[in-house]
Structure 1
Amino acid sequence: MFGPSLDKFLVIGVIAVFLLGPERLPHYAAQLARLVRNVRQMADGAKDRLRDEMGPDFDEVDWKKLDPRQYDPRRIIREALVEDTVEPVPVVRPSASASARRRKAESGPAPFDTEAT
């Protein structure tokens, strides 16, 4: 929805032609190209510096896994639950006293406190 597309660039270009005029448009287009080139060089420099500081571990990192756009809380919880269920879960049988308490609770009305609000 908000990603760049050809239609959006065309609309921005038409608006720029009207706002800047045909005389100043080449100058500002060249400035934009320099800005994009400088930002790209800064990103490459940061990547090279990070590679130098991390050493050979840099190539082993799965950068796509660390992308914040990949964050899905449901997937993370599902994977955590699947990892926890790998070990067999012990089955706990209720004792006789627990079943007696359950029958007693099922037979009578639930306790009600009139003073609690």
Structure 2
Amino acid sequence: MFGINGPEFILLLLIGILVIGPQRLPEYTQKLTNLVKELRRMASGARDQLKEETGVDLNEVDWRKYDPRQYDPRKIIRDALVDDGTEAAASAAAAGVPAVTAGVAATATVEAPAPARTVERLDAGERAPFDTEAT
């Protein structure tokens, strides 16, 4: 917590008690207690409001499912390639081709060829069109 270890915290606490003084110490202790209670009440209210608006209880959420450390991009790509070409993977497996290669082959055959690119050229001496609203 803020890079403060145990003995340093106790020393700061003792200095704070000496600065505040014994007359004002109960008052500040009560203020700290009220602050902690208010923060707990606000957190509870936010949790209840989230549950009311979304219908999801935070205690029921499986947080491990959202842990980004569990995702391996290579595995995700491999699974996606195998899922896309399951028919091709089954036929390729019979032919002895690995499933990942079959998935790549299945996706490569499905893609349509790129449309031909047309390039419009200006005649010699012709000025390029100029759009005043675009600049």
Class of the TM-score when normalised by the shorter of the 2 chains:
0.5 to 0.7
Instruction: Supply the RMSD in Å over aligned alpha carbons.
Output: 3.3
Query: 2:40 and 2:78 mapped to 1: Cα distance?
Result: 46
Stretches of 4+ moved more than 6 A in 1?
A: none
Q: Residues 47 and 13 from structure 1, CA distance in 2 versus in 1: closer, same or farther, beyond 3 angstroms?
A: same
SS state of the match for residue 90, structure 1? helix
The structural deviation recorded for 1:62 is 2.9
Q: Identity over aligned residues, as a percent? A: 37
Mapping 1:78-117, distance limit 5 Å: 79-86=72-79, 87=82, 88-90=99-101
Shift of 1:80: 2.5
Q: How far apart in 2 are the matches of 1:38 and 1:21?
A: 25
Identify the residue that residue 15 of structure 1 maps to in structure 2.
15
In structure 2, C-alpha distance between the alignment counterparts of 1:79 and 1:51, rounded to whole Å = 32
Q: Which residue of 1 aligns with 2:42?
A: 42
Structure 1 Cα separation of the partners of residues 9 and 45 of structure 2: 28
- How many residues align? The count is 84
Question: Runs of 5+ in structure 1 lacking a partner?
Answer: 93-117
Q: 31-40 vs 13-22, which deviates more?
A: 13-22
Deviations 1:12-49 (Å, cap 9, x if unpaired)? Answer: 32121122112111111110110010010011011111
Counterpart CA distance in 1 for 2:48 and 2:20 is 38
Task: Name the one with the larger helix percent.
Answer: 1
TM-score, normalisation: structure 1: 0.53
What amino acid is aligned across from residue 36 of structure 1 in structure 2?
A: V
SS of 2:23's equivalent?
helix
Query: Could you tell me how far apart the structure 1 residues matched to 2:75 and 2:54 are?
Result: 32
Correspondence for 2:33: 33
For the residues of structure 2 that align with 1:8 and 1:64, how far apart are their CA atoms? 36
